[in-house]
Amino acid sequence: MKLIQYISTHFIPRFWNAGASDNQGQILFNYRRFWFFSIGLRSLVSLLPMVILLMFTYTLENKAIKTENHLQLIRFTSNMRRTITYFFEEHLDALRFTVQEEEIATLKNHEALSYVFKSLQRGFGGFLDLGLINDSGLQINYVGPFDLRNKNYSDQTWFKETTNKGFYLSDVFLGYRNTPHMIMAVKKEVPDGSFYVLRVTIDIKELDSTLSALDLREKSDAFLINHDGLIQTPSKFHGELLKKTTLPIPEYAAHSQITEAVDANGSHVLIGYAFIEKSPYILLLVKQSQAIMQGWYSIRKQINWVFCISVVVTLMIVLSVSTFMINKIYDADQTRLKAMDRLESSGKLISVGRLAVGVAHEINNPLAVIGENAGLIEDIINYKDKYRDDQQLKELIAAVLESVTRCGEITKQLLEFARRFEPTIQPLDVNKVITSALSLLRKEASYRNITVSVDVPGDFPLVHSDHGSLQQILINLFNNAFQAMQDGGRLEMIVAKINDTHVSFAIKDNGCGISREDQKKIFEPFFTTKGVKGGTGLGLSITYRLVQKLGGEISVYSMVGEGTTFTVTLPIMQKDA
Amino acid sequence: MKLLLVDDEEKFVSRLAERLAFRGYDADWATTCDDALAKAKSGQHDIAVLDIKMPAVSGFDLKKKLAEIVPGMKFIFVTGHGSEQDYDSGCKEAVCCIIKPFQIEMLIEKIREASAVSK
């Protein structure tokens, strides 16, 4: 409940619930539109830079992470190429060393070749067999699991190429051994002009273990292909051994390169590749783009969260600031409207009052003439015997004199209304003032069976004010209440201390009430609802003026048929005091 | 005790004098300043009842002149016209100030008050 209350006070502006009763305010200023405009503009101004910054961060971070990944992959690829190159060089050098160091005659000896084979096996591993072939292509000595002695290789490509280039590195193939392997061969020329070729078969596992040693993440793949795209060492994701890879074959480049491609599954991959020199191999390092960006995605998630929270907080602040501002404007407008209303009514009072006073003055003199002449007639009737018994004459003149008196009362009230009012401020016991004001009405109250209750708190302070004025105010309001009530009505007087500076006097009756229309006019002079029965319509005007003079305010709350409450607010201390 | 009533409205002031006579007061009346001064010269009047607003000479001016001729004279102002200032200064300079129309009993009461002060 408290939360709802908090939200409604901080985020929903006051004008929202003011409704149609404050039409005047709505005309002065379209609060709703201004509120929306304020929220819109503030939100835009505060959120736009955040959004731009977010997008900027996204782009930069994306680029940075991509660049870093490219560099890392290039580095990996280069290192790997060096390792692979070294692997081939190392094995070739071992063969070269063997044919350099050992006499051909020794190599022709089967036992000696076996010894060499074992040494090589011990030193490097992965050798499957070893054979010596003479320049006519005939394998003259062989160590290995098969009986390949005297096999003629003269028409085979590898033999021809070894003869031409002095060494040979083959693709991986199954051969009749049915295991993936490769051939390495070196040529040794002898002084008599003929030459021999030393040939070994190397198990592909050796090469594969070298590649596997690379610390690759899941979903990453490192393998060799030949220039035709056939897979040379086992690949995890991109095709079977000795089959064509699903990835595109990269263009030749002297250094390690990066390229992007789409694999067989349709995922984007980043490929680092390098052509291994003096070999038919291409090294491929394949990483899933998604895996690469994984880190970035988790960072982005965090950024998104922070952004969302910021947006919510910003919007809440914008909303509450806008509401606060519009409330201030609304309150100021309402105060201004009230002040304008008050000014208008007091202006009206002054001008109507002036007119009334002028009229009163003009009427008083002829009224006095009428009064004195009629008075004289009355005197003549009373003092001289001639008319003493003429009852009709007596009644007639009495009627004239009564009317003169009534007119005189009215004009005197008008003059009273206009009279400059100099209050004498003194500390007043409110109880006493109320009692004396009520004393004038006690009789009427008991006669009409009206209940009067007065509620003054025990610790009520002395109010610094003018005794006569306060009494007059109370008498006027009591009178009003009495006139509004039927016999047997109920009048309540509630006195309260509002704060340290002001007190309020509420006079509540259960009379006929005042319509909304009339409530606007009741403080105007000569406004009366008492009709023919009388009443000058000055009572509340005078009350209004007196309250103002005492630095207070008067307000009315009324429901037709239920009753009326007049509330007078007065300062406890007068400003001048 | 003799009274002097001054008001520019003859129908008012003459009737008032007559009514006072019924009640046992000897009252002269005048409608102009000169007339009033002439009557006052006899020096018999104790109390003057003056209208504040009169053509030519105001009640206040007349009061000053009368006070010169008859020292110790008491004054009562009446006014139907008087502005706030008139009323206030009327109250200050005289025994009292009465607003027209008034009932004769009220005037008599004030006259009694004034004569009581003089004694």
pLDDT of residue A410: 77
**Contact (Cβ atoms closer than 8 angstroms) between residue A218 and residue A230:** no
Q: A-chain residues within 8 Å CB-CB of B102?
A: 368, 371, 408
What are the pLDDT digits (tens) for B34-53?
Answer: 999 999 888 788 899 998 88
CB burial of B86-110 (b: ≥16 within 10 Å; e: otherwise) equals bbebbeeebbbbbbbbbebeebeeb
Please tell me the predicted confidence (pLDDT) of residue A22: 46
Are A368 and B19 an interchain contact pair (Cβ–Cβ within 8 Å)?
no
Within 8 A of A361 by CB-CB distance, chain B residues are 80-82
CB A62 within 8 A of CB A296: yes
Does domain A421-577 sit in CATH 3.40.50.300? no
Q: Supply φ then ψ for residue A9, to 5 degrees.
A: -85, -30
For chain A, 577 residues long, give each residue's pLDDT as a single digit of tens. Answer: 778 888 777 788 877 776 544 444 444 567 888 888 989 999 999 999 999 999 998 899 888 888 888 898 899 899 999 989 998 998 899 889 988 888 888 888 999 999 999 988 888 878 889 999 999 999 999 998 888 888 899 898 899 999 999 999 999 888 777 888 899 999 998 888 889 999 999 988 888 887 887 766 667 888 999 999 999 988 888 888 888 888 888 888 888 999 988 888 888 888 999 999 888 999 999 988 877 777 778 888 998 999 999 999 999 999 999 999 888 888 888 888 777 777 666 666 666 666 777 777 788 889 999 999 999 999 999 888 888 888 888 999 999 999 998 888 778 767 766 654 456 788 888 888 888 888 778 888 888 888 899 888 888 888 988 887 888 888 889 888 888 888 888 999 999 988 888 999 999 999 888 888 888 788 877 777 765 455 667 788 888 888 888 888 898 998 888 899 999 999 988 775 4
The beta strand positions in chain B, using DSSP E, are 2-6, 26-30, 47-51, 74-79, 96-99
Predicted pLDDT of residue A313: 94
Q: How far is CA A334 from CA A23, A319, A367, A519, A554, in A?
A: 11, 22, 47, 19, 17
CA-closest candidate to residue B78, choices B91, B68, B65, B92 = B91
Burial of A364 (0-12, 13-18, 19+ CB in 10 A): buried
Query: Cβ contacts (< 8 Å) between B101 and chain A: which residues?
Result: 364, 367-368, 370-372, 404-405, 407-408
Beta bridge partners of B47: B3, B74
Q: Which two tokens stand for residue B70?
A: 């008859």
Residue contact B101–A420, C-beta within 8 A: no
Q: Domains in chain B and their CATH numbers?
A: 2-118 (3.40.50.2300)
Which chain B residues are within 8 Å of A412, Cβ to Cβ? 99
A376, A379, A412: residue with CB nearest B99:
A412
Q: With respect to CATH, is domain A65-292 assigned 3.40.50.11270?
A: no
Question: For B12, which residue in chain A has the nearest alpha carbon?
Answer: A369
Does A400 contact chain B (CB < 8 Å)? Answer: no
pLDDT reported for residue A20: 47
pLDDT of residue A24: 46
- Comparing alpha-carbon positions, the chain A residue that sits nearest to B81 is A361
Q: Where are the beta strands (DSSP E) in A4-54?
A: none
With residue A364 as reference, give the H or E element that holds it: helix A294-383
Q: Which residues of B50-67 are buried (b: 16+ CB within 10 A; e: fewer)?
A: bbbbbeebbbbebbeebb
Nearest Cβ partner of A371 from B81, B82, B101?
B101
* Beta-carbon separation of B100 and A367 below 8 A: yes
Residues of B in contact with A370 (CB under 8 A): 101
Q: For position A25, what pLDDT does the model report?
A: 44
pLDDT value, residue A359: 78
Chain B interface disruption, residue of A373, A376, A409, A416, most B CBs within 10 A? A376
- Contact of A384 with chain B, judged by CB distance below 8 Å, is answered with no
- State the amino acid at position A151 in one-letter form: K
- Domain assignments of chain A as residue spans, ordered by start: 65-292, 421-577
Q: Please state the rounded mean pLDDT for residues B78-97.
A: 75
Q: Is A315 helix (H, G, I), strand (E, B) or coil?
A: helix
Kindly list the residues from chain A whose CB atom is less than 8 angstroms away from the CB atom of residue B84: 418-420
Q: Which of A351, A399, A397, A402 is nearest to A374 (CA)?
A: A397
Confidence of residue B12 (pLDDT cuts 50, 70, 90): very high
Give strand pairing partners of A506.
Answer: A494, A567
Answer whether B8 touches A (CB < 8 Å): no
What pLDDT sits at residue A27? 47
Q: Closest to B101 (Cβ–Cβ): which among A361, A362, A408? A: A408
CB A393 within 8 A of CB B40: no
Q: What is the ipTM of this complex?
A: 0.89
Q: At a CB cut-off of 8 Å and minimum separation 6, what does A570 contact? A: A463, A465, A470, A502, A503, A504, A505, A547, A550, A551, A552
CA distance B19 to chain A (A): 6
